[in-house]
Structure 1
């Protein structure tokens, strides 16, 4: 395993690992699992470059601590349960963690959009200019055949 930067896909994988995490969370344990999943060895200092991962790590650490306290309080009431039910409860916890993370990320993106909108208007950028379609990208085949691609169609909706 070599040290390198994480791609967007690997950052998504790293955050999804945290969504499903239900044991005591430490940086060493997390980085070990992350290395196995992504094939990339990264240090604690290196992972701090990715705010999505560090925010998710902090939230997961808090969530796991609260869950562990609740389990400790119920330790005397444990009954033999159905394995299917236990699986569904675990799946539900994972999905709840994912929803909470996505809601936080959505809120952060909306705040960023508002900042961009304000700054664009303050600097005289018109909505027409901001809504222009992206330029067509040339693909490997386009370069080989020297053919022009048809421009992207803009959605009216």
Structure 2
């Protein structure tokens, strides 16, 4: 089943074995509104004036309010789940190398793209590890954020991986 024909069900049909290294996944977009900034501030307690005070933000280098960096990252993670590939994730392991490269402004439309950069077995035969390099792009196809996200993913119960397909560092060839 291709990404274009996947249905969002909350339970995925994609297992650890189903993705190949360098495979790319693109999530849908969302247009950032004032409501996103206010709700994020209320949820997290991040009431920094750069995000919420138009008068103050106008005096800063970007000249207007910008979205919270962690909001941009969270939206990227969440939007990619809509592709259906994470229904068999049993644990989110974290993010690394987060970089905010450009501001995300109210009215910008962002979407995530991710490339599978690590797929390795674990000591447990029923799970594997995926790591994706994420890029969050705006409506001008400018990269606004990058990070790496890692996940523990269920394996198919009947799968046995040929050891010849595993590289010395544990990644699938």
Q: TM-score under structure 1 normalisation? A: 0.27
More helix by share: 1
Q: Report which of the two has the higher share of strand.
A: 2
Q: What is the TM-score of this pair, normalised by structure 2?
A: 0.25
Select the structure with the greater relative contact order (CA < 8 A; seq sep ≥ 6). 2
The structure number with the bigger radius of gyration is 1
